[in-house]
Structure 1
Amino acid sequence: MFESFIDNAIKANQKIYKLIENGLSQELLEPTSRGAGGDISLKIDLLAEKIFVEHLNKYGEIISEESGVISGDKNFQIILDPIDGSDNLLSNVPYFGTSIALKKDEKTVLGIVTNLANGEIFIKDSHNFQRGKLDKLVFKKVINNPFAKLGFFERSYCSKKLVTFLKEHRLKYRSPGAFALSLAYAHDVDFVVYEGFMREYDIAAGEFFCTDLYKLKTDQFLLVSKNKETFDKISKFIL
């Protein structure tokens, strides 16, 4: 079942990737109504959701940021963010993607996150965590990057105290604006931290990717890092 699910998830991502690569019409970037996740959905959000539903709904109940619950086999839940980083897409910032988490008995068993800006795809199950390209589908194991010089701080624009702390401790960061995607790259960077209210669409797949990293999660923060020294510094401040 998982192999078939992955195959169809890849096909859906390839279709959306090709759609964006060929250039989106202005109409697809227009806003519609407020989605289930609380943000205003773009037409491209809804189109991407439609493509995912066509490919994945046969595997389980879909819980999407745009439309909420889409009925299906209740033995499996598919947590879906059809476009992660919509504001980046609107602003021509090449950092946006898709996020899929497959859950069984309230436990994530499979995660798939795709970077639609460069075609990179991350897939993790209970045995392997791999990365590859949508156009080649040649995968390699995700490993820690020992040379990382900076981290990701999502929603840093909403923070005051943590921004000051990171500056004082000379912990460099970027705030790219697509949380699931940033968690997919957590093994590449020094740390990933998020401050603010978290929705399941944002973190279900990405958090599953980080089970082998140091992690701290509160109602307002999620911090992951492969570097214990960095993790201890930031987590001590958060707590």
Structure 2
Amino acid sequence: MEYGIDISNHNSTINYDEARRFGKIAYIKIGEGHSWIDPDCDKIYNNCKSRGFLIGFYLYCNDNTSPEEQARFFKERLSNYSYDLMPVLDIEVNMTNYNYTDFVNRFVKAMDQETLIYTYRSYYTEKLFFKGQKIWLADYTGNRASLIDNTMIGLQYSDKGLSSKNTDVSEWYEIPYTKAYTESRFDPVKIANDYLNGDSKKIKQVQYILQALGYSFDKIDGICGPKTTKYIGELQKELGLNVDYKFGPHTIEKALALIKENW
């Protein structure tokens, strides 16, 4: 089991070092609906990234605009950041313009990537009807027997966590890695070969691996530029390997072993 926090402009002044000691997962509010941007998002992101959190983002939805418009806005905002965890749709509002389940299904389809759903227990049981969709539930009753079915992977059990008493805290039964991040941790020979052949998607995976080992990128872009090349050399030196600035199979195997050892 892992632990984590979720943060927005309402509690952006928390003690981030304390939060990192508590857990390694941080979900950051990116905005609401189809246009509102959380004013503290960048500040929170930088604080979390500098402390080595696994980072994800969530969008608080409404029913003022279509799920497709809100998914488009979410994806546009996500393109400004590198992130390790699945994007999250936060659905808590009473909807009059859309069917609840239909809204979620349309939103997830428009996201075109695996998306986690956050809501509270009664909302899930009374308003949402779907199977197979991974969910993150809020339940502050103290009841840990909360696994409604095997799709619930996270439980937000308090909104008064940490010493500040104003932080949402969760326990995670499965870390909701993005597909790209998950793929970056496996099949080292294939990733290395694709990387050496200039596959931009695999270069992104290499960048995710480097980032997981503490090498900071402003943006995961799939371009093997000077910073990526420099980091590969630094990592090879750290691992005691021949420094050739190429992320070959031996380098990537050693890198993945280091990630496993640290985590």
- TM score, norm. by length of structure 1: 0.26
Higher-Rg structure is 2
More strand per residue: 1
